[in-house]
């Protein structure tokens, strides 16, 4: 990889997991490499590095994005959430807890991307049935084949959220 000169560095500001970062980056640095190599957020995984497996899925301004396909400088000003930013203190995000409850991972490599994608899916509100969940999660590959348990976990959290909304009304 070419070594950047001070004149090729681009200043950007990103909020990552609620923390503001003022950075100076070479224009070719992907968001994935920034997260893992510079900021030490290794929960986001480098799988195929071509946007096909979803292991690097993060939330950018609340939307699911493959971090390997995004140049960090192109997201100046963005709010980024990685798997490390989903929990609140020691309290897991409901989907993280559901993944544990439903044994929705085997080797665990794809789990961070699956969870971030699932959180994005729920925020988007487009998936209401198991078939819709499976379709919306189709960009995330699990080589171990834990798809049934992953869908169970997402379906469970959607049902719990729906029940909570109904009880509140």
What is the pLDDT confidence band of residue 4, given thresholds at 50, 70 and 90?
A: low
Other Cβ atoms within 10 Å of 36 Cβ, number: 19
Distance of alpha carbon 126 from alpha carbon 105, whole angstroms: 24
- Which tokens go with 117? 């994608």
Same fold, 10-85 and 94-168: no
* Domain ranges, ordered by start, for the chain: 10-85, 94-168
For residue range 74-113, what is the model confidence (pLDDT) as tens digits? 999 999 999 999 999 999 999 999 999 999 988 999 999 9
> How long, in residues, is the chain?
169
Q: State the Cα–Cα distance between residues 120 and 108, nearest whole angstrom.
A: 19
Second-level CATH architecture of 10-85: Roll (3.10)
The pLDDT of 119-123, averaged and rounded, is 96
CATH number for the region 94-168 comes to 1.10.150.120
What would the mean pLDDT of 21-28 be, rounded to a whole number? 97
Q: In this predicted model, which residue has the larger pLDDT, 161 or 7?
A: 161
């Amino acid at each position: 990889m070419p070594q950047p000169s001070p004149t090729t560095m681009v200043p950007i500001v990103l909020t990552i997991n609620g923390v503001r970062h003022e950075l100076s980056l070479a224009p070719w640095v992907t968001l994935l490499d920034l997260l893992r190599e510079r900021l030490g957020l290794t929960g986001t995984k480098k799988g195929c590095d071509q946007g096909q497996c979803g292991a690097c899925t993060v939330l950018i301004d609340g939307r699911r994005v493959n971090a390997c396909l995004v140049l960090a400088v192109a997201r100046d000003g963005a709010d980024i959430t990685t798997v490390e930013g989903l929990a609140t203190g020691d309290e897991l995000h409901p989907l993280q807890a559901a993944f544990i409850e439903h044994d929705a991972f085997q080797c665990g490599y794809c789990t961070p991307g699956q969870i971030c994608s699932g959180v994005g899916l729920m925020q988007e509100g487009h998936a209401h049935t198991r078939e819709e969940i499976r379709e919306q999660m189709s960009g995330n590959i699990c080589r171990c084949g834990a798809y049934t348990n992953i869908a169970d976990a997402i379906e469970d959290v959607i049902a719990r959220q729906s029940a909570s909304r109904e009880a509140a009304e």
